[in-house]
Amino acid sequence: MVNWKNLDELASFKALKELPAVDLKTEMTGEKGAERVKAYTVPMAEGLSYNFAAKAVNDDVLAVLQKLADEAQLEDKFAELYNGGMVNTGEKRYVLHHLCRGQLGNDVIADGQNKREFYVEQQNRIAAFAKKVYSGEIANEKGEKFTTVVQIGIGGSDLGPRAMYLALENWAKANGKLKMNAKFISNVDPDDAAAVLNSTDVAHALFILVSKSGTTLETLTNETFVKNALKKEGLDPSKHMIAVTSEASPLAHNEGYLDAFYMDNYIGGRYSSSSAVGGAVLSLAFGPETFAEFLEGMAAEDKTAKETDIRKNPAMLDALIGVYERNVLNYECTAVLPYSQALSRFPAHLQQLDMESNGKSVNRFGEPMNYKTGPILFGEPGTNGQHSFYQLLHQGTNIVPLQFVGFRKNQCGMDDVIEGSTSQAKLCANVAAQIVAFATGKDDDNPNKRFAGNRPSSIIIGDQLTPRTLGALLAHFENKVMFQGFAWNVNSFDQEGVQLGKVLAKKVLAHQTDGALAAYSDLLNI
Ligand SMILES: O=P(O)(O)OC[C@H]1O[C@](O)(CO)[C@@H](O)[C@@H]1O
């Protein structure tokens, strides 16, 4: 049996707070720094590695973090989760997203179903559907092939699939795997849907309505918006739209769609990229085989998350270093900085993954805690970010721990030697330079040009961003967030914090307001 305890009840946490701070600047200077870069690295799946040489930790800190992992029973809690424990206590739900991409433990039977079999069945149904779309067996009313797929959804029903699509679009083009272009409509701002519709040949577009609940205001509004646009073109919306939803939702088993594919309440929106939510759009866009490779990358990384030794478990180590930074070093934020343009929406996805999961003030029993939980997360691809917010990261008054991601090779294979180096070499040179500049700083007589250093970072390095490495990368962050939630003793799988605003918006639209809400309604002309 696992013991759900608050972080500050653990002896190892008290020991962690008593350790002397590590001077990263000294550790990362000269030969000592070179040795650290070689030693402080953990292999991940699919040839990736997690390098934490530029984090403010040493062997003493790592030893106590291992004790913390053991005392907090992080591995046992993960086992409880994947063996079908009711870990989402707030909503009294299982947490089963790992089953979409593999079998880490026992069969989980719920709702009278073997859940792994159910998720695989949906993948197979999507694969069969995609093949019929490519062959033209499923086509528009004139019998012409669909060429574009447009996903309608928001939050977890948008960010992950969109980020994954963008991450692989260029790889797919370069490798002859792009079957259909994909576009996304999420915001209830009518200009979002209008812009997509205006740039899409709707007669040859297949729309995927994605909503687990089937009740999300923005998504249902955008669905009607799209249906109206289709009708204006003389097209029958039911011949242009499929649904991805849960079987309990009002969208399920509905004649208004060409077909429907299912996930369930045991997969949180932000963890749903490996379910039918990501599966439909990614299988249609890149082919089911490519989606299967993405899932294999996730499954391979999930296996590393079963290790009890933190030096063999990159997600757990990353999580614990994050706890050390948040609760001992008292850093408020973290930035995700992929040196890969293809990962342009990856930080936005991680923002939801991390902040919706661990942005909590009460523990899993509803009791307030005496320590900080999830950090504020933001990020942008490098090198663009370097010309934007890195000034604050280098010389600002906040220390922001950084998570770099970098690849040795680009995706498109198109590159030139310009002034002695390729663009890819310039990209990689920048990330290496940034890590060392943040860690070691630079002295100068002019205080304005002085860099204090001691700004910690880690990097995940791979050869190339492919379906497999992308899967491994995503699973790493999903599991990292999960382990941090276990350490903070919060329920990372509900999101009550996003409900209040939704309820009040409905009141405004129904004109049931008074006080400040009525005044703002007037100001906005509602
Ligand atoms: O898939 P649905 O039910 O439309 O929900 C969309 C999203 O809304 C949220 O509840 C947040 O607003 C997310 O957790 C979820 O991913």
Full DSSP string of 131-200: HHHHHTSS--TTSPPP-EEEEE--GGGTHHHHHHHHHHHHHHHHTT---SEEEEE--SSHHHHHHHHHTS
Which phi and psi angles does 52 have, rounded to 5°?
A: -120, 25
What is the edge-to-edge ordering of all strands in the sheet holding 181-185?
A: 181-185, 148-152, 205-210, 241-246, 260-263
User: Before 383, cis peptide (omega within 30)?
Assistant: yes
Question: Catalytic residue among 27, 218, 356, 478, which?
Answer: 356
**Strand 49-51, strand 41-43: pairing:** antiparallel
Alpha-carbon distance of 353 to 260, in angstroms, equals 26
Alpha-carbon distance of 362 to 86, in angstroms, equals 18
Q: With contact defined as beta carbons under 8 Å apart, do 95 and 88 qualify?
A: yes
Q: Is 162 in the pocket of ligand 1 (CB under 6 A)?
A: no
List the beta bridge partners of residue 213.
none
Tokens of 499: 């409900």
Say how many C-beta atoms besides its own lie within 10 A of residue 330's C-beta: 9
- DSSP character for 516? H
| Amino acid of residue 172 | A
Q: Is 160 in the pocket of ligand 1 (CB under 6 A)?
A: no
Q: With contact defined as beta carbons under 8 Å apart, do 268 and 95 qualify?
A: yes
Alpha-carbon distance of 219 to 465, in angstroms, equals 31
Q: Is 151 in the pocket of ligand 1 (CB under 6 A)?
A: no
Looking at 207-345, list the stretches that DSSP marks H as alpha helix, in order from N- to C-terminal side: 217-232, 276-286, 288-304, 314-327
| Amino acid of residue 264 | D
Complex ipTM > 0.90 = yes
Instruction: Give the rounded distance of the alpha carbon of 446 from its chain centre.
Output: 41
Alpha-carbon distance of 269 to 265, in angstroms, equals 9
Please report how many Cα atoms fall inside a 13 Å half-sphere around the Cα of residue 401, on the Cβ side: 27
| Amino acid of residue 56 | A
Confidence (pLDDT) at 1:
85
Tokens of 66: 């291992």
Question: In tens digits, what is the pLDDT along the chain, a chain of 526 residues?
Answer: 899 999 999 999 999 999 999 999 999 999 999 999 999 999 999 999 999 999 999 999 999 999 999 999 999 999 999 999 999 998 999 999 999 999 999 999 999 999 999 999 999 999 999 999 999 999 999 999 999 999 999 999 999 999 999 999 999 999 999 999 999 999 999 999 999 999 999 999 999 999 999 999 999 999 999 999 999 999 999 999 999 999 999 999 999 999 999 999 999 999 999 999 999 999 999 999 999 999 999 999 999 999 999 999 999 999 999 999 999 999 999 999 999 999 999 999 999 999 999 999 999 999 999 999 999 999 999 999 999 999 999 999 999 999 999 999 999 999 999 999 999 999 999 999 999 999 999 999 999 999 999 999 999 999 999 999 999 999 999 999 999 999 999 999 999 999 899 899 999 999 999 999 999 999 999 9
Confidence (pLDDT) at 261:
98
Beta-carbon contacts of 389 under 8 Å, excluding residues fewer than 6 positions away, are 335, 380
Atom number in ligand 1 closest to CA 154:
6
Alpha-carbon distance of 27 to 54, in angstroms, equals 8
Going by C-alpha positions, the residue among 210, 221, 143, 237 that lies closest to residue 188 is 221
Confidence (pLDDT) at 191:
98
Going by C-alpha positions, the residue among 122, 156, 138 that lies closest to residue 241 is 138
Output the pTM of the full model: 0.98
Q: How much distance in Å is there from the Cα of 271 to the middle of ligand 1?
A: 11
Q: Is 248 in the pocket of ligand 1 (CB under 6 A)?
A: no
Say how many C-beta atoms besides its own lie within 10 A of residue 436's C-beta: 17
Q: Could you confirm whether 301 is annotated as catalytic? A: no
The 3-state DSSP class for residue 91 equals coil
The 3-state DSSP class for residue 285 equals helix
Q: How much distance in Å is there from the Cα of 159 to the middle of ligand 1?
A: 10
Q: How much distance in Å is there from the Cα of 211 to the middle of ligand 1?
A: 7
Q: Could you confirm whether 502 is annotated as catalytic? A: yes
Q: With contact defined as beta carbons under 8 Å apart, do 184 and 196 qualify?
A: yes
Q: How much distance in Å is there from the Cα of 442 to the middle of ligand 1?
A: 45
List the beta bridge partners of residue 376.
333
Q: Is 155 in the pocket of ligand 1 (CB under 6 A)?
A: yes
Tokens of 206: 């297949």
